[in-house]
Amino acid sequence: MNCMGNRALIRRALWALGGVAIAAATAAGAQVEVRPLTAHWNEGSADCAAHPQPPLEVHRIDARTYVLRENPCSTWEAPFMYLVIGDTRALLIDTGDVADPRKMPLARTVLRLVPSHTPLLVVHTHRHLDHRAGDPQFVHRPNVDVVGYDLASVKHFYGFNHWPEGRAQIDLGNRIVDVIPAPGHEATHVVFYDRNTTLLFSGDFLMPGRLMLDDPAADLASAERVAAFARNLPVSGVLGGHIEEDAAGKLFPWQSTDHPHEHDLAMTKQDLLALPAALQSFNGFYSRTGKFVITDPIRNLEALVGVTLATLVALITGVVIYLRRRARRRSVAIVSGGRAAS
């Protein structure tokens, strides 16, 4: 058989494998669909009790690449997770916001998508709880390794000796995933680039939603670092940790379980390359620059506390002045009354 025939046979075998995995995942209770990156997800509901939703959706990008999303009715965070499968190992990026396997069958679904006897490596974009709450579902399972989410574990596992500089690779077997440090949203943040699909898995570093910064200077440096990495590479899509906007770019209310007309999950290489300039123009509190909504919640909280304290001090000062003037007027009235009586 010629080379083209071999490739066609391999492709058919991979798609067949994907079909078996989808059937298994469906049996595990997850909703699995084959859709393009522009597909829309289950939107949740304003009344989740009256309109129950499947807890977990799985979309297949190809036979060995899956996107998983926890439904907004299961957690208002509605985070995305990514499963990337190579010849010798599979990689799960993030474990979501729900720990209880009875409410969120994440491990059961993922392990039925992974080919039998293939080791699974579980990693995180960063250590915020909504990206690692599902870890206990994977810990102590055979053939599964869970990388720690603290900074020391991240540095040690990837071999980042000069954090946040440097780059690491995860070899999944005929599939290399690059790991680039990207602190700023959170101190342990990394992003992942899959050379096979040319997808960049960006966590909360870049997504259609609020870009919340713990350290604006570090985030700008990370944006420049990731943009430099990707500038001369193909990037078919940037897939983040959440969708917080509708198709028109309007933010959903905070903690909303209803996401009508959601924005596409995927952002573009152009968005990635435009991020450093947007961060450079950030006013330090809250700004919308093009597609980007950027906020520093700590500075906003500090400003709110400052304004509240200033208002309270002004109010107390006003009350004290009023009471003193009132007391002074009373004293004058008493003195005047005494003189008139005499």
Tens-level pLDDT at each residue, the chain (342 residues): 444 344 334 333 443 444 444 444 544 555 555 455 667 899 999 999 999 999 999 999 999 999 999 999 999 999 999 999 999 999 999 999 999 999 999 999 999 999 999 999 999 999 999 999 999 999 999 999 999 999 999 999 999 999 999 999 999 999 999 999 999 999 999 999 999 999 999 999 999 999 999 999 999 999 999 999 999 999 999 999 999 999 999 999 999 999 999 999 999 999 999 999 999 999 999 999 999 999 997 765 554 555 556 566 667 766 667 667 776 777 666 666 666 655
Does 102 lie in the same domain as 233?
Answer: yes
DSSP string of 183-224, one letter each residue: TTSSTT-EEEEETTTTEEEEETSS-SSEEE-S-HHHHHHHHH
| 135 secondary structure, DSSP code | G
In angstroms, rounded to a whole number, what is the distance separating the alpha carbons of residues 99 and 77?
A: 13
Does 284 lie in the same domain as 317?
Answer: no
For residue 227 the two structure tokens come to 């943009």
pLDDT of the residue at 90: 98
In angstroms, rounded to a whole number, what is the distance separating the alpha carbons of residues 118 and 86?
A: 9
Does 240 lie in the same domain as 114?
Answer: yes
In angstroms, rounded to a whole number, what is the distance separating the alpha carbons of residues 241 and 174?
A: 26
Does 257 lie in the same domain as 147?
Answer: yes
For residues 84 and 78, the answer to whether their CB atoms sit within 8 Å is no
Return the CATH number at 101: 3.60.15.10
Does 242 lie in the same domain as 110?
Answer: yes
For residues 222 and 256, the answer to whether their CB atoms sit within 8 Å is no
Query: 306-320: buried (b, 16+ CB within 10 Å) or exposed (e) per residue?
Result: eeeeeeeeeeeeeee
Integer-rounded Cα radius of gyration of the chain:
27
Q: Helices 106-113 and 3-27 meet at what angle, rounded to 10?
A: 160
pLDDT of the residue at 2: 41
Nearest to 207 by CA among 276, 252, 267, 122: 267
Does 275 lie in the same domain as 158?
Answer: yes
Does 229 lie in the same domain as 122?
Answer: yes
For residues 257 and 46, the answer to whether their CB atoms sit within 8 Å is yes
pLDDT of the residue at 14: 40
In angstroms, rounded to a whole number, what is the distance separating the alpha carbons of residues 133 and 7?
A: 40
295, 314, 333: which is the final residue of a domain?
295
Nearest to 276 by CA among 237, 235, 220, 327: 220
pLDDT of the residue at 322: 63
Does 304 lie in the same domain as 155?
Answer: no
Q: Spell out the residues 6+ positions from residue 273 whose beta carbon is closer than 8 angstroms to its own.
A: 227, 230, 231
Does 166 lie in the same domain as 135?
Answer: yes
For the chain, the domain total comes to: 2
**C-alpha 171, offset from chain centre:** 24
pLDDT of the residue at 218: 98
For residues 201 and 192, the answer to whether their CB atoms sit within 8 Å is yes
Does 309 lie in the same domain as 288?
Answer: no
Does 306 lie in the same domain as 182?
Answer: no
For residues 103 and 284, the answer to whether their CB atoms sit within 8 Å is no
pTM of the prediction? 0.82
Does 302 lie in the same domain as 195?
Answer: no
Three-state SS at 236:
coil
Q: Spell out the residues 6+ positions from residue 181 whose beta carbon is closer than 8 angstroms to its own.
A: 160, 163, 164, 165, 166, 189, 190, 222, 225
Domain range for 316 is 297-342
